[in-house]
Amino acid sequence: MSIRTDDHEGFDRPKRRSRPRTKDRPDYSNLPVARVVSIDRGRYRCLIGDRHVTAVRGRLIDRKGIIVGDMVRLDGDVSGAEGTLSRAVEVLPRSTMLRRSADDADTFERPIVANADQLFIVTALADPQPRVGMIDRILVAAYDARIDPVLCLTKADLASPDELQEAYGPLGVPILVTEPGSDLTAVAEALADRVTVFVGHSGVGKSTLVNRLVPHAHRATAAVSELTGKGRHTSTSALAMELPGGGWIIDTPGVRSFGISHVSPDSVVGAFPDLAELAEDCPRGCRHDSTAIDCAFDDAVAEGRLSPERLASFRRMERAFA
Ligand SMILES: Nc1nc2c(ncn2[C@@H]2O[C@H](COP(=O)(O)OP(=O)(O)OP(=O)(O)O)[C@@H](O)[C@H]2O)c(=O)[nH]1
Ligand SMILES: [Zn+2]
């Protein structure tokens, strides 16, 4: 039997070398895997089953190398007992990664959430007014990351969802509509057994919805400021919460913008198998927009192989790149 110390720092600290020698890395495959549910000032709150364990970051992992939703291997004390600290020594490969740039001039990508397979674009029908530009950008980021988007429209007691349903339905985006006291069965069904990240402008009612779906979530909610029409930022960091019926919600802080400078239009087309196939007949470098010359999408519509509504809906979203 080999002797294993609790502390691998002696092994994995790169000494007199600029880069760690990966072949010398210890084998972490026997360590327990935990899900990172929140990050607060360098402390990683993790869950192993239903046990909360707090961890710090191992030295071989970058400062930004762990994000909420990551699955990590924990070394050291994983009892979760009061006052104990474990150490995250390895991040398992991510199935997806949602990123955004702060705005389009800023090419710096911020990874937001790892391993989500569904994205709820939470949008209020009023107070604050829906911004289709923002919906389009988040949609683009979702398709680029190969995360299934769902448009979740809140505050249906204040305004009708018809216009948005018409705009985004033909693209195949599932649409859910909520208001205070509304039946959440369809929402719960959409969330069941998925890992869903919630993204939305501040004040759209994300926390209100999360609190209805996850008992004991206690997400702070606040009235939308009457002066600015903008919500106050009541949630400060992403938080993963397990749903009572299975599955996870990862709530993210309200955003005011969603930059997509890191996304290429081609990657978005690739998320739609029917359009990707048509695009093979497009001229090289075709942007597939309404001014594109000889775009195969227009031919497909003319020949009845693509519905004009679907093309219009796709082009509306692609305007996010303009
Ligand atoms: N009329 C109406 N008001 C709602 C609805 N859902 C939430 N609200 C109100 O909208 C305000 C903002 O709700 P929150 O749940 O705090 O919004 P949030 O999206 O979590 O905001 P941030 O924490 O800033 O990201 C609160 O006053 C809620 O009571 C709804 O369906 N209809
Ligand atoms: Zn084209």
Please check whether residues 127 and 233 belong to one and the same domain.
yes
Q: What's the rounded Cα separation, in Å, for the pair 60 and 90?
A: 8
Where is the domain boundary, 36, 58, 91? 91
pLDDT digits (tens, 9 = 90+) for 34-51: 999 999 888 999 999 989
pLDDT digits (tens, 9 = 90+) for 107-152: 566 778 999 999 999 999 999 999 998 999 999 999 999 999 999 9
Residue 294 Cβ inside 6 Å of ligand 1? The answer reads no
Please check whether residues 149 and 277 belong to one and the same domain.
no
Task: Count the domains in the chain.
Answer: 3
- What CATH number did the domain enclosing 231 receive? 3.40.50.300
Residue 258 lies in a domain: no
Please check whether residues 240 and 283 belong to one and the same domain.
no
Residue 290 lies in a domain: yes
Is residue 147 packed enough to be buried (19+ CB in 10 Å), middle (13-18) or exposed (0-12)?
buried
Cβ–Cβ < 8 Å for 232, 207: no
Please check whether residues 117 and 245 belong to one and the same domain.
yes
Domain coverage including residue 304: 265-321
pLDDT digits (tens, 9 = 90+) for 165-205: 999 999 999 999 999 999 999 999 999 999 999 999 989 99
Residue 22 lies in a domain: no
Residue 223 Cβ inside 6 Å of ligand 1? The answer reads yes
Annotated binding-site ranges for GTP: 154-157, 200-208
Q: Output DSSP code: residue 1.
A: -
Pocket test for ligand 1, best of 123, 198, 207 (most atoms within 8 A of CB): 207
pLDDT digits (tens, 9 = 90+) for 58-82: 999 998 899 999 999 999 999 999 9
Please check whether residues 164 and 243 belong to one and the same domain.
yes
Annotated binding-site ranges for Zn(2+): 282, 286, 288, 295
What Å distances lie between residue 250 and 167, 247, 256, 299, CA to CA? 26, 10, 18, 41
Residue 53 Cβ inside 6 Å of ligand 1? The answer reads no
Query: Which ligand is located closest to the Cα atom of residue 296?
Result: 2
Residue 130 lies in a domain: yes
Please check whether residues 73 and 121 belong to one and the same domain.
no
Res. 217: pLDDT tops 80 = no
Which ligand 1 atom sits nearest the alpha carbon of residue 204?
19
Please check whether residues 246 and 277 belong to one and the same domain.
no
Mean predicted lDDT score pLDDT of the chain: 86
Where is the domain boundary, 217, 251, 285? 251
Residue 159 lies in a domain: yes
Please check whether residues 247 and 270 belong to one and the same domain.
no
For the chain, percent of residues with pLDDT exceeding 70: 84
Q: What's the rounded Cα separation, in Å, for the pair 101 and 258?
A: 7
Residue 160 lies in a domain: yes
What does pTM read for this prediction?
0.85
Please check whether residues 275 and 305 belong to one and the same domain.
yes
Please check whether residues 116 and 243 belong to one and the same domain.
yes
Please check whether residues 193 and 244 belong to one and the same domain.
yes
Please check whether residues 45 and 143 belong to one and the same domain.
no
- What CATH number did the domain enclosing 271 receive? 1.10.40
Question: What's the pLDDT score for residue 20?
Answer: 55
